[in-house]
Structure 1
Amino acid sequence: MSASKATNRVGSMFWAIVASANFVTSGQSQMYVEVDKLTASNGIADDHFGYSVSVDGGVIAVGAEQAATSKGSAYLYDVQTGQELHELYPSVARSGDRFGRAIASDGGIVAVACPYEDSDSGVDTGAVYVYDAITGDQLLRIRANDRAAGDFFGSSVALGDGLLVVGATGANGEIGAAYVFDVATGNQLAKLTPNTGAQFDRFGWSVAVDNGIAVVGARSHASNGINNSGAAYLFNAANGAQLFKLVPSDIAQSDLFGHAVAIDGGIVAVGSRRDDDLGNDSGSVYLFNASNGVFIDKLRASDGAAEERFGSAVAMHNGRLVVGAHLDDESGPTSGSAYLFDVATRTEITKLVPSDGFDGDEFGWFVDLNDDVIV
């Protein structure tokens, strides 16, 4: 459910994950069990399969941003059977484009980011490709009207209510920007920029959209003059007007608040993956009211510890919140985990750990959920 998910991590260094697989659970009466493990039929080491994931309806979408000499690819799977349905490629593919670095799905549509794609405007302008989730056919290739070199358009993507929101962390003089499109036509509707932005804010690192409100994370913004503390912004998705700037009262240096964002049912969740409440870089997630920007609560893992990066990924749907902690040592050093919360009560329901977790897996790097399925 892409309206409640975040995608990110363009323009930074990333450590290798070897054929990292997804975790699919089925929930009934708040009991969750692992039901499948998805792998690419043609996957090889260092493809980064699972770098991005999304689930909507009966289809799971998975990005593999380093496949095929970093051209990248994406895969679609049947939720019920785990069968691989399609492998997606862009109409324009070059080594280093990183197609699949961000992914979103909603209403039978899949959007796949290609943030390092070059164009007549220069290198690394970026693009987003839109596909039919059932047939795998490419429907649109979307680029910003004012595209320029180094924009990294496709740093993040989100889908919801017929809208596509795309982050571009290098745009707007390297402050960053986000763009809103009609996903049916590909027409650009608005460009989102912060009222208080500065160079290298990484505005657009994460995006989410629901019920006409777009959320954009700027994880490196110096809120209250504090370096790399971060911020998140709420916009009217239709006209681009900024509604609120979200900054927690206890924000601190290098918290990276805004690294991940989600919105669903009038609630906004913002990940702060380097918050230090339970130890250095233990991480946290903040909840806000989407209608007025008011802080609601702060969530931490019940067994949280230093260096776990809880809040690196967040996703919400129908009153449930999933949070990734990809450096948790549950099954070995940096094996990773994820946590499920009830949004209304802010209580932790369960901790998700794969049956075959191993050192360095970084399980929980990306998460999504829809109905009774968690990926």
Structure 2
Amino acid sequence: MRIRPRGPFWSISAASRSSTRRGIAVDTLIAAALTSVALLLGPEAARQGQNPLDATAYTLVVLVHLPLVLRGRAPVVVCCLVHASWLVYITAGYWPVVCSFGPMLAVYTVASLRPLRISVPCAALMGGVWIYAGAVSHHVSWPSVVGQAVVYPAVLWRFGVVARRSAELTLQLRREQAERARREVAEERGRIARELHDVVAHHMSVISVQTGLARFVFDTDRLTVRTALDTIDATGKEALEELRRMLTVLRTADDGTSGAPAGPMPGLARLEEMTERVRTGGVPVALTVEGTPRPLAPGVELCAYRVVQEALTNVLKHAPGASAEVRLRYEPHQVSVSVTDDGEGVIPDRVRADGGHGLIGMRERAKLYGGQISIGPQEQGGFAVRLLLPTSARAAAQGDDATT
């Protein structure tokens, strides 16, 4: 059985070999075309008053253009070989113009692939050979020879330099695009991690508290046990629903389905439902809404909802026995939300090392929507999370450094 190597390394190597083969094939066709043009131009030498081309001359024509097959792999070596063969051809007394196409292409190739310190001498080499061709010929106009010796190499060199810079800019653009894509992937992974943390941490905290309560009163208070189990059931279903929604967003559309969520994302209208669930977990929570509720951008509502969710989850995990208050206030151009509690003795755990993933996630969400957020202990005791979000698109767009 024959084993075919697979993997990125082999794929890249195969692609590189394929590209090299295509490059040589193209260069071979170009060299053949230039050789054909030179051979067809050969009979014109006699009509121009030059020595007619014989078998030796036609052999030299082929030798001048033959190295061009490898011009992409060794441009400087090819340029030197082409000019050396051209010098032999000129020294033999044949018309220089017939073999001028190969040296021109060789100079352009060096200028398009090598830096100036290499391409400039190659262009000067072509000009020098052109001057030499005028010196050994007896039927030339020196002003014309000097002009051609300067203009032709200079123009070819300039075209090659422009091509090289264009290729460098294209490569740089591709690198920047790849880097931008990597950053976007990293940002998306961070967003997904925050969403997963918010969904799993909050719901699992509620389930854990309710499970402990049910186990504690299992033999003495069947009604409390039933209530705890109902809460676990509802919380588990909601967690599965949100996870399913996230997976729907992440799923590719290979099967022809869209990547849109199956249902609306959580918003401020569900704060009462959240606080009720936390109350069943043993934390007294008061919800106060000030101002006139109004529809907000989905991203703004989700940001506020997740911040409240994470703050209440922290109360459940780090402040047992504490009571909490959620205050939501609608203002003309912004919305503010705060979550405060009166827990004691666990504040350092909640702010240790600049916070855990939850606190980092809250700050990142606020920054994303141009908001301001403060997280930390209160002077009178307890802990507070306060979030201020702009509701205008222009204000939200100016939130690069709005977190505190």
What TM-score results when the alignment is normalised by the length of structure 1?
A: 0.26
Would you tell me which structure has more strand in proportion to its own residues? 1
Higher relative contact order (CA 8 A, sep 6+): 1
What TM-score results when the alignment is normalised by the length of structure 2?
A: 0.24
Would you tell me which structure has more helix in proportion to its own residues? 2
The structure that has the greater radius of gyration is: 2
